[in-house]
Amino acid sequence: MGDLFEAIPHKDPVAAARRGARPALRRRFYKAVEIRQVADGYAVALDQKPVLTPTRRILAAPTRALASAIAAEWQAQRDVIDQATMPLTRLANAIADGVADWPRLVAAEIEKYLASDLLFYRAGGPPRLRERQAEYWDPILTWARETLDARFTLGEGIAHVTQSEGALRAARAAIPADPWRLGALHAATTLTGSALIALALLRGALSAEAAWQAAHVDEDWNMEQWGRDEVALQGRASRLAEFQAAAMVLKLLAE
């Protein structure tokens, strides 16, 4: 794991942690799954032994409800432990191994999305697509203006639109500092392509379903015009599971 840690200061620490969390399938070796209170929160234990992250840290969630959700993924495993079916556990590992030690780098990744957010770039046509973008995206921009005091400029096409430092500063202030919310926000940002959608999800201004729909306005439009792309839909289903895990973290921490 030495190469991983040497690389982290120069790369996305969450992505690096996820790459380090892809072991080969193992047979299920435990019978009982339980939750134990530890110094850092609530840990999932397998036959009374705590689950460890890929870097050998005890995987402890800040609340019992979140630990219970992680434990449910371990309980659901049958003959083998398939982490492809455990998006919440993978996210928790990434937060413990990639966010907790480098929160500033993770926040900086989110800030990059803010500077060129998906919602700023509107289609030149056809009119119906422009209307649909406005329908889903304008309420989020209104929320950012009214709640965060962040006023952004829109553009057409892919030409870069420079945003005011005041708007960026106001939106940056909404990025949380604690590792769990920060890690979940980072995941939601990268999966939707929009830090503003992720921030609205974090603040409860968007449901998970509405956030995911807003992130796929253009893709849904293209499939309506040209037909379904089954390969793309398979990838989207995989990303949706990751997004739902991030949304669950934010929801459970808000309760």
For residue range 15-47, list pLDDT tens digits in order: 655 555 555 688 999 999 999 999 989 999 999
Percent of residues, the chain, with pLDDT higher than 70: 91
Q: How confident is the model at residue 74 (pLDDT cuts 50, 70, 90)?
A: very high
The mean pLDDT of 136-142, rounded to a whole number, is 98
Q: Which of 26-30, 61-65, 137-141, 209-213 has the lowest mean pLDDT?
A: 26-30
Residues 168 and 203 in one domain: yes
With 50 as the cut, is the pLDDT of residue 180 above it?
yes
Residues 140 and 39 in one domain: no
| Average pLDDT of the chain, as a whole number | 91
Residues 27 and 74 in one domain: yes
Does residue 33 sit within a domain? yes
> Is the full-model pTM beyond 0.85?
yes
The mean pLDDT of 64-90, rounded to a whole number, is 96
- The residue with greater pLDDT, 227 or 202, is 202
Q: Which domain holds residue 64?
A: 2-86
Q: What is the CA radius of gyration of the chain?
A: 19
Using CA atoms, how far apart are residues 126 and 59, in angstroms rounded to an integer? Answer: 49
The CATH number of the domain where 17 resides is what? 3.30.2180.10
Q: Are strands 41-46 and 49-50 parallel, antiparallel or unpaired?
A: antiparallel
Does residue 95 sit within a domain? no
Could you give the number of structural domains in the chain?
A: 2
The mean pLDDT of 46-50, rounded to a whole number, is 95
Residues 55 and 110 in one domain: no
Does residue 93 sit within a domain? no
Q: Which of 71-85, 131-145, 190-204, 222-236 has the lowest mean pLDDT?
A: 222-236
pLDDT for the residue numbered 9: 47
Q: How confident is the model at residue 13 (pLDDT cuts 50, 70, 90)?
A: low
